């Protein structure tokens, strides 16, 4: 099964402040291990919403809105597509990823990671 892990952004992320180098180094180390183990299939970070746009469909029309968007805590700051044998296994991988944040940034760190199983359209 494949799952997408989406880490939510923060006010600092939306302001364009890069993550601390220590955090990026710790994440890279964990990702390298998980890629070798065949767990991480793809990953990436996203630029702040000020660099993006939304396209909404309604009443037969499309509306494009350029960023930035309001609720920073609801925006995705990065993602990973992982392979896991179950939802529980995916949760364990997500916990390891978030623990790296706590370990590096300290107990005052607050963040959120959402995990969703990808639909299988016949290509695994």
Phi, psi of 115 (to 5 degrees): -120, 130
Q: Evaluate if residue 122 carries a pLDDT over 80.
A: no
Pure H helices in 1-124: 11-14, 21-36, 87-105
Beta bridge partners of 80: 5, 43
CATH code of the domain in which 32 resides: 3.30.70.1060
Q: What is the model's pLDDT at position 16?
A: 85
The verdict on residue 59 lying in a domain is yes
The whole-chain average pLDDT of the chain stands at: 92
Q: What is the model's pLDDT at position 123?
A: 60
How many domains are there within the chain?
Answer: 1
**pLDDT, tens digit (0-9, with 9 covering 90-100), for 58-70:** 999 999 999 888 7
């Amino acid at each position: 099964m494949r799952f997408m892990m989406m880490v939510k952004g923060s006010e600092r992320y939306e302001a364009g402040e890069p993550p601390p180098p220590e955090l990026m180094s710790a994440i890279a180390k964990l990702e390298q291990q998980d890629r070798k183990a065949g767990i991480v299939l793809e990953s990436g970070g996203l630029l702040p919403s000020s660099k993006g746009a939304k396209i909404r469909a309604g009443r037969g029309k499309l509306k494009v809105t350029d960023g930035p968007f309001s609720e920073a805590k609801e925006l995705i700051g990065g993602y990973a597509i992982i392979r896991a044998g179950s939802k529980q296994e995916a949760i364990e991988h997500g916990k390891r990823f978030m623990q790296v944040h706590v370990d590096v940034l300290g107990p005052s760190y607050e963040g959120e990671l959402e995990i969703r199983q990808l639909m299988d359209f016949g290509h695994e």
